[in-house]
Structure 1
Amino acid sequence: MTHRTSSTSPPGRSTDERLRTWGIIVGLSLVSTGLAAYEIVPASVTPILRDSLQISPTKAGLVVGVMFGTSVVASLPAGAVLDRTDSRKVIAVAVFALCGVGVWGWYAARIGDYRSIIASRAVGGAAYVVVWNVGIDLASRAVTPDRRATAVGIFTASGPVGFALGQGTGPLVAESFGWPAIFLVYAALALVGLLVFWPLSHGLGRTESNAPSLSEFGAVLKNGAVWQVGLLGFLGYSLYLFVNSWGSSYLTEEVGLSLGLSGLLVAVFPAVGIFARVSSGALSDRVFGGRRRPVVLGSFAAAAPLLVAFTQFDSLFVLLAFLLLSGFAVQLTLGLSFSYVRELVDPNVAATAVAFQTSIGLAGAFIAPIAGGGVVSAAGFDAAFLLAGCLAVAGIALAWQAPEPA
């Protein structure tokens, strides 16, 4: 069966071909970084957002979480379409849609229209999931199989880069230009990425001759191993978004730090994922001989005690260490799970499997900020972080039983 015209790269490629391959990954990563920053940035200014709109913690969590909710719904249909169409054009549409959504969200925030903000964020979630699924698929096809997890890990590092950018600079943007400006500023980075990616990506579109059949598509949904790895992604993304959404508020409201300092501290949690997501692939490919399960198991085993103990300390340096270590541990799973799941299915439906993994994982990302806000309101931050630790323990049990790809 045939795939995209630049599928797995043959040995002995020229320097120009190698540069083109990595240029594609860099361009896609820049697009994804801009979208990820747009996605998380409201969490960095939650106290200001709540005061301005006069909303509860749960409603504030929805401003972050709604993008993930849309992604859950849109991911699988997007994956099916991407297995049948020219993904270059789809990415361009997604980036321009994000620009329009940013203007929409900015205007809605200026006039204090909470429902319109939510609607704009929902549309932005569809753009984000398209870029994410396309990027993983193309990064996987651009390199040889023995480097696939490494390449995907490099691309998925765009997520924590964008999250760190949003968490760290969101309060500064709000202070300088007013908090509604957070919906505008990050689309420009996605446009830069599109300009890098576009001229290098000719010939990457899928044709009708290699589109998967309906039976192949259905086989993905019936694959128990795919569901198991999907649930690991669900738990990992739940932990990731809970800390990203409520870590800054905890440091501000309970520890007494300024909003700016809290944002900078919490930014290290996603930022360390740059190393975690890249190293997860390298660990799996080179240390564990291509096995995926040991890395995922270690990820949850390290995260559980760190999350439970986080609220027991108020030392700035101890909190920073906990954010670094727990951020690294959680994101080992997030970096590897997309390589993991695509290796459990036929290559012709790999994009569909990645889309399924994205959908299940982002379901956790959608639920976590909202449920976290509910737990914080009802029982406080200690109970919320204890619950996060329990989810990590569930991840240990699930990873223990996870299958290895053939």
Structure 2
Amino acid sequence: MDDTTAVTSRRARWGLLAGAILMSMALGAYELVPASVTPLIRESLGVSASAAGLLVSVMFGTAVLASIPVGIVLDRTNSRYAVAVAVGLLLVAGVWGWQAATAGAYWSLVASRVLGGVAYIVVWNASIDIVARSFGPARQGTAVATLSAGGPVGFAIGQGTGPIVAEQFGWPAIFPIFTGIAFVGVLIFWPMSRGSGHATGTSAPTLSDLGRVVTNRRVWTVGLVGFLSYTLYLFINSWAPSYLTEDLQLSLGLSGALVALFPAVGVLSRVAGGVLSDTLFGGRRRPVVLLSFLVATPVITGFTAIRTIPVVVAALLIAGFAIQLCLGLVFAYVRELVEPAVAATAVAFLTSVGLAGAFIAPIAAGRLIDASNYETAFLVAGTLGALGAVLAWYAPEPGET
């Protein structure tokens, strides 16, 4: 089968999805793992809380800037080849990060994370484009949501094993170890994704077509939903470990293990979001998004009032499940609001706007914590969750005009 032949076999579809999920896991672990060893980073490099938060958020900031240009290129080129090149860049970024961290070169480490951010956004946008194209409309929401479940698995792996890696090999080793997983993923993805690099039956989009995507009010509404979802998601992932360590006096290892539950439950909730939308709600996306914010908001708002470990665990599981219920679904959602020829650009736009929240959250929360306390930071996060519920109420369905 050559590269112009469409992916039609069930084995190929599920094989490329498995490879894409493994790459997503690697990206998630590499992105978030500095948050699991923040106290070690601050002590070793002598940086502030917000500077340590930048090591997480810089990847998302890079993605914000690069996502739309990447999406435009993907709509005009072969997404499959783009994935392979990006994984190569990710391996380079991991080794570079290890060398910079070992040398105590903070800004060089930040630069390595910028390269990792470029690689991340190419793999993410291209994988969603390929997976969504390879599954029919009745399964598209479920397939994309399942792909996105690789992210929380990676986040959980990073949160839970980052301190262990740091103890055994030194904290700089967190960078090359987790990028290596992506190479295994691309080895699975590559042979199964033949013929999936281009959309079929559509002409190349014009600049006018692409411009209509980024000025579409419906696309912007879903983009803002993604912004608020990612803001809450990265806020908890970035600062809950430090909160548990500093305010509840838990060990760094235990804090990381507990907070790993927050992204880990996304393995279930992201898939559940797609299944609920495709089956229970007959393809409607808005009910699932609204439910996500309605459940997560009160838990986040009251999180700092919890002082016992079992209740902390329950709160992390509930909030993690609720927030991630829509995080995968929105990427299928936004594709359905535009024509197939510009679907990758719509995904890229959502990624850019959504990850702006991921970029801002760790830094802004760090500054807020430095200036006040954790209680204020969680209260602000809860307010953003309430805003998300209001926005979700007015979000459009794909079939609506």
Report the TM-score when normalising by structure 1: 0.96
Q: Residue deviations 1:292-331, cap 9 Å, x none?
A: 1111011001111000111101111100000000001111
Q: Residue deviations 1:112-157, cap 9 Å, x none?
A: 1111011110110010011111111111111110111000011000
CA distance in structure 2 between the aligned counterparts of 1:131 and 1:201, rounded to whole angstroms = 13
CA distance in structure 1 between the aligned counterparts of 2:194 and 2:306, rounded to whole angstroms = 53
2:126 is aligned to 134
- Shift of residue 235 of structure 1? 0.1
Change (3 A) 1:147 1:207: closer
CA distance in structure 2 between the aligned counterparts of 1:364 and 1:74, rounded to whole angstroms = 15
Q: Which amino acid aligns with 2:69?
A: P
Residue 62 of structure 1 contacts residue 369 of structure 1 at CA under 8 Å; is this kept in 2? Answer: yes
Aligned pair partner of 2:271 in 278, 299, 302: 278
Q: Does 2:357 correspond to 1:359?
A: no
Aligned pair partner of 1:231 in 221, 224, 228: 224
Q: Does 2:78 correspond to 1:86?
A: yes
Residue 38 of structure 1 contacts residue 166 of structure 1 at CA under 8 Å; is this kept in 2? Answer: yes
- Shift of residue 206 of structure 1? 2.1
- Shift of residue 5 of structure 1? 4.9
Residue 58 of structure 2 contacts residue 359 of structure 2 at CA under 8 Å; is this kept in 1? Answer: yes
What SS class does the counterpart of residue 353 from structure 1 fall into? Answer: helix
CA distance in structure 2 between the aligned counterparts of 1:331 and 1:199, rounded to whole angstroms = 30
Residue 79 of structure 2 contacts residue 130 of structure 2 at CA under 8 Å; is this kept in 1? Answer: no
1:269 is aligned to 262
- Shift of residue 205 of structure 1? 2.3
Question: Where in structure 2 are the equivalents of 1:73-222 lying within 5 Å?
Answer: 73-206=65-198, 210-222=203-215
CA distance in structure 1 between the aligned counterparts of 2:197 and 2:238, rounded to whole angstroms = 36
- Shift of residue 216 of structure 1? 1.1
Residue 35 of structure 2 contacts residue 237 of structure 2 at CA under 8 Å; is this kept in 1? Answer: yes
Q: Residue deviations 1:180-238, cap 9 Å, x none?
A: 00111012210000110111122222289732111211110121000000000000000
Residue 276 of structure 1 contacts residue 335 of structure 1 at CA under 8 Å; is this kept in 2? Answer: no
1:45 is aligned to 37
CA distance in structure 1 between the aligned counterparts of 2:229 and 2:342, rounded to whole angstroms = 24
CA distance in structure 1 between the aligned counterparts of 2:346 and 2:220, rounded to whole angstroms = 10
Q: Does 2:352 correspond to 1:320?
A: no
Q: Which amino acid aligns with 1:6?
A: A
2:242 is aligned to 249
Percent identity reads: 59
Change (3 A) 1:251 1:279: same
CA distance in structure 2 between the aligned counterparts of 1:203 and 1:339, rounded to whole angstroms = 21
Q: Does 2:6 correspond to 1:6?
A: yes
CA distance in structure 2 between the aligned counterparts of 1:143 and 1:152, rounded to whole angstroms = 9
Residue 86 of structure 1 contacts residue 207 of structure 1 at CA under 8 Å; is this kept in 2? Answer: no
Say what the alpha-carbon RMSD is for the aligned residues. 1.2
Report the TM-score when normalising by structure 2: 0.97
2:302 is aligned to 309
Residue 131 of structure 2 contacts residue 143 of structure 2 at CA under 8 Å; is this kept in 1? Answer: yes
Q: Does 2:385 correspond to 1:392?
A: yes
2:373 is aligned to 380
CA distance in structure 1 between the aligned counterparts of 2:146 and 2:250, rounded to whole angstroms = 33
What SS class does the counterpart of residue 19 from structure 1 fall into? Answer: helix
Q: How many pairs were matched up?
A: 395
Residue 6 of structure 2 contacts residue 194 of structure 2 at CA under 8 Å; is this kept in 1? Answer: no
